[in-house]
Amino acid sequence: MGSKKQLTPEQQQYQQLAKKHEKKRPVLMNCIRAFLVGGFICIIGQAITIFFYTFFDFTEKTAGNPTVAVLILISTLLTGFGVYDRFAQFSGAGTAVPVTGFANSIASAAIEHRTEGYVLGVGGNMFKLAGSVIVFGTVAAFFVAIIKTIIQGGL
């Protein structure tokens, strides 16, 4: 068994009291909200993609890059106006759809640290989160490429 610390009777009594007064979380409702909001964000992304290849000279494949740029712009603007945070509070994990959630986290860090200056405040704190995500994405892409090469018989 693990080395779990023995609680004193007072600590046990406090935990029981805290558990009794703890607000029950609506887990099922939170999952439904996250699913619907995340799906809605994806539907918006798909609509933007369709818009690009319908009204501009894009193919379905090449419409992806401008779609991502538009989603990042929308997410950053909504973060700057304070709308995205209220939306995220309602929907929970549904707004963590990778592109919009990442743009929100970067913009939030930039807004929060703007008083510390552009280089050390905005730049330094904004990339604390982004740096780890970029490194992880790069390393993951490297290993996926190696696995793909091995499977296709390239090595």
Domain range annotation of the chain: 27-151
Contact 41, 94 (CB under 8 A): yes
pLDDT at 4: 66
Provide the percentage of residues in the chain whose pLDDT is more than 90: 34
Contact 77, 69 (CB under 8 A): no
Q: Which two tokens stand for residue 61?
A: 């494949």
Q: For 57-69, what is the mean pLDDT?
A: 92
Residue with tokens 């740096």: 131
pLDDT at 2: 47
Confidence of residue 19 (pLDDT cuts 50, 70, 90): confident
Judged against a pLDDT cut of 60, whether residue 126 lies above it is answered with: yes
Residue 114 φ then ψ, to 5°: -65, -25
Q: For 2-7, what is the mean pLDDT?
A: 68
Confidence of residue 146 (pLDDT cuts 50, 70, 90): very high
**Least confident range of 32-46, 76-90, 115-129, 132-146:** 115-129
pTM for the model: 0.67
Q: Which two tokens stand for residue 144?
A: 């996926």
C-alpha angle 91-39-60 in degrees, rounded to nearest 5: 145
Q: Which two tokens stand for residue 74?
A: 């929308």
Confidence of residue 155 (pLDDT cuts 50, 70, 90): low
- Cα 55 from Cα 66, distance rounded (Å): 13
Strands of 63-120 (E only): list them. Answer: none
Residue 143, CA distances (Å) to 115, 140, 152, 154 in order: 40, 5, 14, 14
Residue 9 φ then ψ, to 5°: -60, -35
Give me the torsion for CA of 133, 134, 135, 139, rounded to 10°: 100
Residue with tokens 């696995």: 147
**Least confident range of 4-8, 76-80, 124-128:** 124-128
Contact 117, 92 (CB under 8 A): no
